[in-house]
Amino acid sequence: MKKLTLLAALSTSILGLSAGASWADYTLNILHINDWHSRIEGNNKYESTCSQEEKDKGECIGGAARLVTAIRQQREALNGQNVLVLDAGDNYQGSLFFQTYHGDVETEFSNLIKFDAMTVGNHEFDDGEDGLMRLLDKAQFPVLGANVKPNAQSKVGDKLKPSTVVEIGGQKIGIVGIVTTDTPDVATPGPNLAFEDDVEAVKREVKALTDQGVNKIVALTHVGYVRDRDTIAKIPGVDVVVGGHSHTFLSNTDDKAEGPYPTMVDGADGQKVPVVTAASYSKYLGKLTVVFDDNGVPKQANGDPIYLDKSIPEDEGVLKRVAELGGPIEELKNKQVGEFTAAVDGSRETCRAQECAMGNLIADAILDRTKDQGVTIALQNGGGIRASIDSGPVTMGEVLTVLPFQNTIATFQLSGKDLRDSLEAGLSEIEEGKGKFPQVAGIKYTFDKSVAPNGGRLKSIEVKDGGAWAALDPAKTYTIATNNFVRTGGDGYKLFADKAENAYDFGPSLEQVLADYITAHSPYTPALDGRITLAQAGTTQAPASEPAATPAPSQPTAAETTTPAPTTPPADLTPPSSGPSAEPSATPPPAATTTEPAQPSQSSATTEPGSSSITAGGTHTIVQGDTLWDIAEAAYGDGTQWRRIQRANPGLQVHRLFVGTELQIPGRN
């Protein structure tokens, strides 16, 4: 519709042109980031702050100094061309810099970068209106939020803009910003801010921009890749979608990517709409080139994210400033609280979908701290777990990177029925990677994600009762501990807010509870113990709502034995080599995407007879204890090459390796 309106408005002037005159295509280069999450310093491969040793080895990724350089380099390379630089939100929250300076550092470097526009993310509301106002008062660029509506008592007023127009190369570009509508559930915006439907907000702003004669419109969103692709890109008048929130990695060259960059979607006006996002934590800088025709319709789009590794030099001025800002918190960051014997996986992909080692550790720490208060069950939302930690000494800085939200321990009482219903709700958005997934202690449950959300995914629940496991009693009142965010209804745990009795939300800080637990149990060995298991589709089990006899402990079988979590490192974030025969690194199958109930097993070191003789280009017969990671390690000297073996053996179930099955082992190329 906007294209037809514009054509009608221009028809008279077009007729007045000479026969030789014509309109030219317009090329726009868009550089973009999202979900920076206060990673002012570089990340290591576990997405925690880089140590000095890792810096010396050149293993750090992203960070403010590298991001500033990367954007400057791209601007210089595109000198004389049309360049738009965008931020899709969630600069706040995720490191000691945010906890110390409350967003001022992120905004200082954003001003240095000179973004053309930013949309707010849900974490910009973590410190309420006052936290948001720090950004709005200090940002030297438009901050957008079309679906955020302040009331008369709000301090925000008109400082948060619904959209903006920038003129580049003689053409007007309209930018509409939106944030996820569940922000009140996942952050703390306060009572004076309402969050309207994002689609209606975009439609309203598209009309306003079109009425101004703008025919190229970018939706700058913080709603997640799936919603961008399936909904926002299909709104009439939207030409490009630049998004954030889901931390989605898109790429045309990396097997780990969740989709192509850009993802092309059939738009409402009949054109193809490019959708892009750039992972998270400043690890990547998105670079998209869009060619528009005379009428502002995208006719071509291409690009790929730029990986900000050691090949991108760090800006010396920014490094100096970071060192200045880091002085007051360096002592706290470097304090050692304990030691891990193996890496503890706290990755988003794992902790928002299944039992994860970091979830077990945090839930156990909460339960241990509160057991003297009669607490028997602990729950930690997967979305509150923000990083993994590698093996070796553990510092307070690393603990705070995992738990950056300054939550406190909350205790309360709840009926078994309401706990069951809350767990069911917590399992309802696994597919979207929502943060409500329940990591637990003092309780174990089985779920079937093939069942429709809120349709009975929860198949069984058992609680510890006098040292033994017993079925959850719906009529019994249980004493539970969690963090204050979840207890007050965060991440959709509404019943925790509405039905809790004797609630107290002001216990010790969660990060200190975790640090104390690590100290008390150092050296700590992570493990998955089967407290959360995934039922096979179609499996019949006792309904979660009815008490059932405690099942006999399952015995591991040769076909189902898996490697314990401690032997499997988290996903390697290093991208694949650029050579034509390079194989991408990938997350090892155990503990990262487990699809079967965890089973106890012997260490792979004692259950792999002959594994050292596995030869690339030959075959291997599966023996008890084998994992694809171990087989790849033996064949190629690199466990991250397990996907090569998977691809060479169609139908292979990576988490159910049956003893006696012969595998084809691809050659080294």
Chain centroid, CA 223 distance in Å: 12
Distance CA(153)–CA(147), nearest Å, equals: 18
Decide: 529 and 598 in contact? Cβ < 8 Å: yes
Distance CA(146)–CA(205), nearest Å, equals: 8
Q: Residue 658 has what pLDDT?
A: 67
Q: Residue 591 has what pLDDT?
A: 36
Q: pLDDT for 533-578, tens place per residue?
A: 998 755 444 445 443 333 333 333 333 333 333 333 333 333 333 3
Q: Residue 656 has what pLDDT?
A: 56
For 451, 564, 591, the CA distances from 535, given in Å and listed in that order, are 10, 19, 16
Q: pLDDT for 477-514, tens place per residue?
A: 999 999 999 999 999 999 999 999 998 887 778 998 99
Give the H or E element holding residue 275: strand 272-277
Per-domain boundaries in the chain = 2-8+30-320, 337-534, 554-669
Residue 456: CB partners within 8 Å, gap ≥ 6?
Answer: 424, 543, 544
What would the CATH number be for the domain defined by 2-8+30-320? 3.60.21.10
Pairing assessment for the beta strands 409-415 and 477-483 based on DSSP bridges: antiparallel
Torsion of CA 250, 251, 252, 255, to 10 degrees: -100
Residue-by-residue DSSP string for 240-252: EEEE-SS---B-S
Q: Residue 555 has what pLDDT?
A: 32
CATH superfamily membership of 337-534: 5'-Nucleotidase, C-terminal domain (3.90.780.10)
Sole residue written with tokens 């169609």: 650
Q: Residue 597 has what pLDDT?
A: 33
Phi-psi region of 529 (alpha: psi -120 to 50; beta: other; left: phi over 0): alpha
Q: Which amino acid is at 451?
A: V
Along the chain (669 residues), what's the average pLDDT of each consecutive run of 10 residues? 40 30 79 96 85 93 98 98 98 87 96 98 94 98 98 97 98 98 88 97 98 97 97 98 95 95 95 97 97 96 98 98 89 89 95 97 97 94 95 94 87 97 96 95 96 95 91 97 94 95 85 94 96 74 41 33 33 32 35 35 33 74 75 77 72 62 76
Q: Residue 542 has what pLDDT?
A: 45
Tell whether domain 554-669 is in CATH 3.10.350.10.
Answer: yes
Residue 548 has, within 13 A of its CA and on its CB side, a CA count of 15
Distance CA(242)–CA(286), nearest Å, equals: 9
Q: Is the peptide bond preceding residue 523 cis, with omega within 30 degrees of 0?
A: yes
- Taking the CB of residue 662, how many other CB atoms lie within 10 A of it? 10
Decide: 105 and 97 in contact? Cβ < 8 Å: yes
Q: Residue 10 has what pLDDT?
A: 34
